[in-house]
Amino acid sequence: MGIVLGPNRYGKAEVRLVRVVRDDATHHRLADLTVSIALSGDLAATHLAGDNAHVLPTDSMRALVFAFAREQPGEEPEEFALRLARHLTTAYEPVHTAQVRIHAHPWERIAAAEGPHPHAWTRAAGSRYAGAVRNADGAEQVVSGLDDVTVLKSTGSEFHGFLTDRYTTLEPTDDRVLATSVSARWRHAARPEESDLGADWTGSYAAARATLLRTFADTRSLSLQQTLYAMGKAVLDEQPRLAEVRLELPNKHHFLVDLAPYGHDNPGEVYYAADRPYGLIEGAVLRDDAIPAMPELPW
């Protein structure tokens, strides 16, 4: 019986990087990224004895992110994550696994008199996600996604037939407001022969985002759980190279306010938008013949 070191990893979290791609003196493009790196490997000595010979300083990882950003302007976040992960697992012998997470924050061009402004921006809601893992044997996987895309349907949602007990006061409804803030992840390369991760990342991202939103809108919802499955399945139906979709859907409750004490009816017009608590519906939808996800894949 004794005490041993368990699983561990370390890295630089949330490197904030803004890249201005200058098409010419006035027409620019922006990439605003938050990049996180986590390494695992032969790190017992630093934990057990403070021997740092195998420890690449997290400060060097920060520098690496900025230096790599200079090399490939306009690069997609998935490519950037893969390039960092490949470098980290080939250049430093003690590193066995590298995980890279990137959140890309959208900026939209301000509407100017002559059209979209060439170099003035407003920060938009939601963010795009890209994550990559690579190990020293060369195995690698990529996950893409989006966060905090808030959607609402003002009809087309029901919730009834649920389990009841003596604590149940929720009224069944056949017409409610359904709102959620979508966080989604999709894993690339469903089969081993598709492991050439040279995809059209941005095309796949735009298609998945559109499919998720369209399915939310078009599905007559009997529960947010049913909507979750429909959203994930629609993305997999449209993109055969994706293996799995994971969704997190907080139920942003809208409660009809009882206006009777004030002498008013309320035919589905005035709602209280509750902040918390909220229902949290989470689930994965996957192909039954997909290769498994690497355990270290940064979802």
Q: Which residues bind ligand URC (CB under 6 A)?
A: 159, 170, 223-225, 251, 279
Q: Which of 54, 58, 119, 202 is catalytic?
A: 58
Contacts of 285 (CB under 8 A, 6+ apart): 228, 229, 232, 233, 235, 236, 244, 245, 246, 247
Beta carbon of residue 170, minimum distance to ligand URC (angstroms, whole number): 5
Beta carbon of residue 226, minimum distance to ligand URC (angstroms, whole number): 8
Query: 250: cis peptide before it, omega within 30°?
Result: no
**Listed residue (88, 93, 78) closest to 144, CA to CA:** 78
- The residue whose Cβ lies closest to ligand URC is 224
Q: How many CA atoms lie within 13 A of 59 on its CB side?
A: 0
Nearer to ligand URC (CB atom), residue 104 or residue 228: 228
Distance, in Å, from the CA atom of 26 to the CA atom of 28, rounded to the nearest integer, reads 6
253 catalytically annotated: yes
Beta carbon of residue 110, minimum distance to ligand URC (angstroms, whole number): 38
Beta carbon of residue 165, minimum distance to ligand URC (angstroms, whole number): 13
Nearer to ligand URC (CB atom), residue 66 or residue 255: 255
Nearer to ligand URC (CB atom), residue 116 or residue 279: 279
Nearer to ligand URC (CB atom), residue 197 or residue 230: 230
Give the start-end residues of each E strand in the chain. Answer: 15-22, 28-41, 95-105, 107-112, 115-123, 127-135, 140-153, 178-188, 242-251, 254-256, 271-273, 279-286
Catalytic residue positions, numbered: 12, 58, 253
